[in-house]
Homo-oligomer: A and B are copies of this chain.
Amino acid sequence: MSEPQKNRRLILERRPQGIATHQDVVLREGVVGTPGDGQILIRNHFFSIDPAIRDWMSERPSYLPSIRIGDPVRSTVIGEVLESRHPNFTPGQLAVGIGGWEEYSVADGGYFFPVELQPGDEEQQYLSIYGAVGLTPYFGLLEVGKPKEGETVLISAAAGAVGSLAGQIARIKGCRAVGIAGSDEKCRWIVEELGFDAAINYRTEADMVTAIGRACPQGVDVYFDNVGGEILDATLLNLNKDARIVFCGAISSYNSTEPVPGPYNFWQILARSATVEGYLVSDYLDQFPGGIAQMRQWVSEGRLQYREQIVDGLENTLDAFNLLFDGRNEGKLMVRLPR
């Protein structure tokens, strides 16, 4: 390979308090590294912009270690393998895995998977519908929530990348799908375009307990939660007996600077014999091929719709990331680097 020397990287300079700023995450020029044993060198084509990254920036324990100060911000990426010292990869292949917000990443090959595009596929789909974003609602709803036909499935952040798919999969399985979102436009979109049975705009409802009860007249059997906080509390008062909560995220707390208590209605878990199950899509890695095949079939049949929002340029990554936290993004958010 020709040796690229420069590597623009977004470095975590200090841990953010609240929303991450350009003082916390700083663009620095470095040099491209050389892979050691078991590593690969990848030229990044797309970054996946996900709420969990905010958690990784913080110091508290998480399902991955904190990003170290001075390291590039950790991110799922897709790109081309330039050099490989890992048996799974050869140069020229596409690979998806845990890299960073930088032009080139040197990474452990064990955190990457080779991607073979099928006819009609686009690269970035392996960060959206055929990546963690698509498979998170797939396994979370079907393997953890286990909805039965005719049950009511409530979804928070329902216009988001994960939630919008969760609701459509619930519909495919014969459930009543009710979504919670943050604008009337989003609510219209999930009902009119995606086929949700009902939607709740949490910004305009004074009393979410009542609003959920109205939208879910038979009660809530499965709650697919990406949000936590007050909406989780309101949902707990609407659960049916033996309800299942798929605890998939808690975006309401990711930028918090104070300790965040669990739900005040925690007791209802006992009172309603409900189950809260923490869920990481990475626990289902070995089932990804089957999941992707099913998702691909539903997409080809027109039964699953999804949106991608692509922002161009490494230098715009942090601003794109912060769109996640005020609900301004529309669809699965990714950053594209020039080839």
Which residues of A are in contact with B by a Cβ distance under 8 Å? 60-63, 228, 237, 247-250, 253, 259-280, 283
Given A237-B61, A267-B250, A268-B61, decide whether A273 and B279 contact each other with a Cβ distance below 8 A. yes
Is the pair A270, B261 in contact by a Cβ cutoff of 8 Å? no
Given A61-B268, A262-B262, decide whether A275 and B273 contact each other with a Cβ distance below 8 A. no
Is the pair B61, A271 in contact by a Cβ cutoff of 8 Å? yes
Is the pair B264, A270 in contact by a Cβ cutoff of 8 Å? no
Which residues from B are CB-within-8-Å of A278?
A: 268-275
Is the pair B264, A263 in contact by a Cβ cutoff of 8 Å? no
A250 to chain B minimum Cβ distance, whole angstroms, is 6
A21 and B267 CA atoms in complex are apart in Å by 24
Is the pair B275, A280 in contact by a Cβ cutoff of 8 Å? no
Is the pair A262, B266 in contact by a Cβ cutoff of 8 Å? yes
Which residues from B are CB-within-8-Å of A272?
A: 63, 278
User: Which one of B62, B261, B275 contacts A275 once the chains associate, using CB atoms below 8 Å?
Assistant: B275
Chain B residue, CB-CB nearest to A273: B278
Is the pair B263, A262 in contact by a Cβ cutoff of 8 Å? yes
Is the pair B276, A269 in contact by a Cβ cutoff of 8 Å? yes
A253 and B269 CA atoms in complex are apart in Å by 14
Q: Which 3 A-B pairs have the closest CB atoms?
A: A262-B262, A261-B261, A262-B266
Is the pair B237, A271 in contact by a Cβ cutoff of 8 Å? no
Is the pair A273, B283 in contact by a Cβ cutoff of 8 Å? yes
A274 and B260 CA atoms in complex are apart in Å by 19
Is the pair A270, B250 in contact by a Cβ cutoff of 8 Å? yes
Chain B residue, CB-CB nearest to A261: B261
A16 and B164 CA atoms in complex are apart in Å by 46
A156 and B191 CA atoms in complex are apart in Å by 46
Which residues from B are CB-within-8-Å of A248?
A: 270
Task: Contacts A262-B265, A270-B279 known; list 13 others, CB within 8 Å.
Answer: A61-B237, A63-B272, A250-B267, A250-B270, A260-B267, A261-B263, A262-B262, A269-B277, A270-B278, A270-B280, A271-B278, A272-B278, A273-B277
Given A237-B61, A275-B276, A278-B275, decide whether A247 and B270 contact each other with a Cβ distance below 8 A. yes
A303 to chain B minimum Cβ distance, whole angstroms, is 29
A259 and B237 CA atoms in complex are apart in Å by 14
13 interchain pairs (CB within 8 A)? A61-B237, A248-B270, A249-B270, A250-B267, A260-B264, A261-B261, A261-B263, A261-B266, A262-B264, A268-B278, A269-B277, A275-B277, A275-B278
